[in-house]
Amino acid sequence: MSDGRALAREFLEQQRLLGGEPVILPDGPPPGATIASTPGLRPGSAQSPPVDSARLTSSDTPGIPQSRPPAGGSDLPPPGLSYDPPGGDLFSNDPVPQAATLDAIAGLVAGCTKCRLCEGRRTTVPGEGAGDARLVVVGEGPGRVEDETGRPFVGPAGELLTKILGAIELPRERVFICNVVKCRPPDNRQPQFDEIAACVPYLFRQIEIVKPKVILAMGGTAAQTLLNTKQSLGALRNQVHRFRGVPVIVTYHPAALLRNPNWKKPTWDDVRIARRLID
Ligand code: SF4
């Protein structure tokens, strides 16, 4: 691949992580594939940037300090969108609204065949963390390592997320972490609309069960799904949105931060807002 083409692909992928539409390159991927299907751009994927997680310290994550500064100040961003989807029908045959615990949801996900993503998965990745978490982190979907381990946000991007959470004094185990779709899309492509529509009742029920004080939407897919919008990530940042009344803060996906360190400072600004809302 030429340098120019590699740069173009890099730029387009960054736009996708910001919430832009997938773009088809004319002479690149096979017919039908989109730039979003380029492997290596998701946490744990085979071609993820060669980041040595042991080196992910405050010195190379400028703007993300190791400890939280005083919360002080009430300069919260203005209110944004509000999305209040109807809950599931408790009297239908759908077991999702009747699932009373996160384990029950995970059990349903483990046997789910509601969309084509079940065909290529090794294991489902329902999410993990505290059932009474004050913060729920939502990403896009499992990558390669997640698919192998059944755990969300592992690999370099996951380790960066752990550091980000540590910087606001929220140990990873005290947060509930999950994705919009629970099975890995082939070649790490972006989940398609019908796949998200099939899977999102699990996410919505998980949020209902956890009852967090704040939701952190990481990446365009998570933000657009939780807020039922096509607005870009850039347009959605710096506002306090609501999902069923719960504040939603939109920020970059850790995989995007590994590719563009310039986004670490804005991400730190976003997570500080989330922390203030939790406090
Ligand atoms: S992605 Fe979601 S809806 Fe699709 S098979 Fe997996 S669990 Fe079911």
Instruction: Domain of residue 250: give its range.
Output: 53-278
Instruction: Answer yes or no: is 145 within a domain.
Output: yes
Instruction: Answer yes or no: is 35 within a domain.
Output: no
Q: What's the pLDDT tens digit per position in 155-196?
A: 999 999 999 999 999 999 999 999 999 999 999 999 999 999
Q: How far apart are the C-alpha atoms of 110 and 125, rounded to whole Å? A: 8
Q: Answer for the pair 209, 61: CB distance below 8 angstroms, yes or no.
A: no
Q: How far apart are the C-alpha atoms of 97 and 208, rounded to whole Å? A: 9
Q: What is the CATH number of the domain that holds 268?
A: 3.40.470.10
The Å distance, Cα 199 to ligand 1 centre, comes to: 5
Instruction: Answer yes or no: is 34 within a domain.
Output: no
Domain tally for the chain?
1
pTM: predicted TM-score of the whole model, two decimal places:
0.79
Query: Which residues are near ligand 1 (CB < 6 Å)?
Result: 109, 112-115, 117-118, 124, 181-183, 195, 198-199
Residues 6+ apart with CB under 8 A from 7: none
Instruction: Answer yes or no: is 228 within a domain.
Output: yes
Q: How far apart are the C-alpha atoms of 239 and 46, rounded to whole Å? A: 34
Instruction: Answer yes or no: is 103 within a domain.
Output: yes
Q: What's the pLDDT tens digit per position in 99-121?
A: 999 999 999 999 999 999 999 99
Q: What's the pLDDT tens digit per position in 84-101?
A: 998 877 777 889 999 999
Q: Give the residue, out of 94, 112, 119, 194, with the most ligand 1 atoms within 8 A of its beta carbon, to mutate for a pocket test.
A: 112
Task: Name all contacts of 193-196 with Cβ < 8 Å and 24+ positions apart.
Answer: 194/115, 195/115, 195/116, 195/117, 196/221, 196/225
